């Protein structure tokens, strides 16, 4: 008989299950990983952030505000952000002007070659012939009296440009262009399709609300199918009521009439009237514009009425020709310059002021609802001619 082989204990006993590893616990029975996480959160909350260095645009914006007498505690982040956008928006125009102008004006009295070079630079920026002639003549007279280094010459050039931009304000009793508190103000916005008129309406509504005014929009652009819906979207974004009649063949003047009635009943301070994109060669539309103005004058005799042309800066001199036609038809009291961030033709602002004697009231640089601000000749010129 053969012997039974020995069987090891390991083969006969079932394998022992490993005991689960217990979480390391602290005295209060809280798992260590949780404690570690808590410590990290505390560290995050108490950590001192390393301040980031302000960029060039931030420093420039702060200086511009300080030079206007603003104190640091009164300056908002929104203002700094806006000035940065304005400077960046005028970057294309600035880069094509500043360095070349410095090279020319820093050589003493202007000879004929220098005059022609400056003239070409200004015209390329769509400053316009009239404004260009005035700038060159004034600058030449100054340089004949005294030799100016490039930086001083540029500073004098800034003064000339500010003078051009501010000159039209002498014709108006409201140079700051703010709605009068406690009474109805009606701002009628005009302009051809594509200049950003409806967007500007929404931005103005937002700005007025932020400034403490009650506001309403009358959607009187009834000739374009999507216009009323676009206005409603902007009304929702700016939390402003929109008066509209979306039916086909609605009379724009009737919408304005309803808007005035609603504004009066609700004691609204600012009624913004959106009008159709009126092309210069459509006399019936221009006649309709005049009709709207007559309705406003009749139904709101005591209201402060302003008519603003929305002008696309990228159009340059073509935009100036639009302004000439609208100025006759709409009794314009100013211009809103849009899309300044997408062009090297920012000089068109000077052409509007010099040739049409119209003030720039607002300027837009960006697509956000907050990217429209009251026009400041000082800020505009600094953004146009400071730096690169």
Q: How far apart are CA 274 and CA 272, in angstroms?
A: 6
pTM greater than 0.85: no
- pLDDT given at position 43: 56
- pLDDT given at position 144: 84
Tell me the pairing of strands 215-219 and 334-338.
unpaired
- pLDDT given at position 239: 94
pLDDT above 80: residue 284? no
Does 345 belong to an annotated binding site?
no
Q: How far apart are CA 24 and CA 26, in angstroms?
A: 7
> How distant, in Å, are the alpha carbons of 76, 312, 361, 371 from that of 81?
9, 22, 20, 9
pLDDT above 80: residue 72? no
Q: How far apart are CA 21 and CA 204, in angstroms?
A: 66
Does 274 belong to an annotated binding site?
yes
**Smallest Cα–Cα separation from 347: which of 134, 142, 144?**
134
Q: How far apart are CA 30 and CA 70, in angstroms?
A: 55
Q: What percent of the chain is modeled with pLDDT above 70?
A: 81
Does 152 belong to an annotated binding site?
no
Does 339 belong to an annotated binding site?
yes
Task: Look up tokens 């069987």; give the residue.
Answer: 7
Does 329 belong to an annotated binding site?
no
Question: In the sheet that 304-312 helps form, which strands lie side by side, from edge to edge?
Answer: 241-243, 215-219, 270-274, 185-190, 304-312, 334-338, 360-364, 372-374
> How many CA atoms lie within 13 Å of 324's alpha carbon, on the beta-carbon side?
9
Kindly report the average pLDDT of the chain as a whole number: 81
Backbone angles phi, psi at 244, to 5 degrees: -150, 155
* Helices then strands, each counted (H, E), the chain: 15, 8
Q: Which of these ranges, 63-77, 151-165, 244-258, 360-374, has the smallest mean pLDDT?
A: 63-77
- pLDDT given at position 1: 47
Does 52 belong to an annotated binding site?
no
pLDDT above 50: residue 9? no
pLDDT band at 6 (very low <50, low <70, confident <90, very high): very low
> How many CA atoms lie within 13 Å of 338's alpha carbon, on the beta-carbon side?
25
Does 340 belong to an annotated binding site?
yes
pLDDT above 60: residue 24? no
pLDDT tens readout for residues 319-343: 888 778 787 777 888 999 999 887 7
Q: From the CA atom positions of the chain, what is the Rg in Å?
A: 32
pLDDT tens readout for residues 82-103: 888 888 888 888 887 777 877 7
Does 7 belong to an annotated binding site?
no
pLDDT tens readout for residues 224-241: 778 888 999 999 999 999
Does 198 belong to an annotated binding site?
yes
pLDDT tens readout for residues 291-315: 898 999 999 999 999 999 999 988 8
Does 366 belong to an annotated binding site?
no
- Residues 18-23 have a mean pLDDT of 50
Does 275 belong to an annotated binding site?
yes
Query: Which residues, including other chains, have CB under 8 Å from residue 333's CB and lie 6 or more apart?
Result: 172, 306, 307, 308, 361
Q: How many residues are listed for the chain in this entry?
A: 388
pLDDT band at 187 (very low <50, low <70, confident <90, very high): very high
Does 99 belong to an annotated binding site?
no
- pLDDT given at position 4: 46
Does 194 belong to an annotated binding site?
yes
- pLDDT given at position 23: 46
- pLDDT given at position 52: 54
Contact 229, 213 (CB under 8 A): no
Q: How far apart are CA 295 and CA 303, in angstroms?
A: 12
Q: Which secondary-structure segment (H or E) carries 24?
A: none
pLDDT above 80: residue 28? no
What domains can you pick out in the chain, each with its CATH number?
Answer: 179-332 (3.40.50.300)
């Amino acid at each position: 008989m053969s012997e039974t082989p020995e069987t090891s204990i390991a083969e006969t006993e079932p394998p022992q299950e490993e005991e689960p590893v217990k979480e390391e616990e602290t005295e209060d029975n809280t798992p260590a990983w949780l404690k570690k996480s808590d410590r990290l959160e505390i560290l995050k909350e108490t950590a001192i952030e390393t301040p980031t260095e302000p960029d060039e645009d931030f420093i420039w914006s702060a200086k511009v505000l300080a030079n206007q007498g603003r104190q640091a505690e009164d300056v908002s982040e929104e203002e700094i952000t806006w000035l940065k956008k304005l400077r960046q928006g005028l970057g294309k125009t600035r880069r094509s002007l500043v360095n070349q102008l410095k090279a020319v004006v820093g050589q003493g009295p202007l000879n004929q070659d220098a005059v022609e070079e400056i003239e070409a630079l200004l015209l390329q920026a769509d400053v316009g012939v009239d404004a260009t002639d005035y700038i060159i003549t004034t600058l030449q007279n100054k340089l004949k009296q005294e030799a100016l280094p490039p930086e001083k010459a540029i500073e004098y050039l800034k003064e000339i440009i500010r003078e051009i931009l501010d000159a039209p304000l002498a014709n108006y009793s409201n140079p700051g262009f703010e709605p009068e508190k406690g009474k109805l103000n009606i701002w009628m916005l005009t302009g051809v399709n594509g200049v950003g008129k409806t967007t500007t309406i929404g931005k103005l509504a937002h700005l007025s609300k932020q400034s403490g005014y009650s506001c309403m929009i009358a959607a009187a652009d009834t000739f374009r199918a999507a216009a009323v819906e676009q206005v409603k979207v902007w009304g929702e974004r700016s939390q402003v009521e929109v008066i509209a009649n979306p039916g086909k063949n609605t009379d724009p003047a009737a919408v304005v009439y309803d808007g005035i009635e609603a504004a009066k009943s609700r004691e609204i301070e600012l009624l913004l009237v959106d009008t159709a994109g009126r092309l210069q060669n459509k006399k019936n539309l221009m006649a309709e514009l005049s009709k709207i103005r007559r309705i406003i004058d009749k139904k709101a005799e005591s209201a402060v009425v302003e008519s603003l042309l929305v002008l696309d800066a990228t159009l340059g001199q073509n935009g100036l020709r639009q302004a000439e036609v609208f100025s006759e038809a709409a009794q314009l009291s100013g211009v809103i310059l849009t899309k300044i961030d997408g062009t090297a033709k920012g000089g068109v602002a000077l052409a509007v002021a010099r040739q049409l004697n119209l003030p720039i009231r607002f300027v837009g640089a960006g697509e956000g609802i907050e990217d429209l601000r009251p026009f400041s000749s000082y800020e505009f010129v600094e953004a146009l001619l400071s730096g690169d």
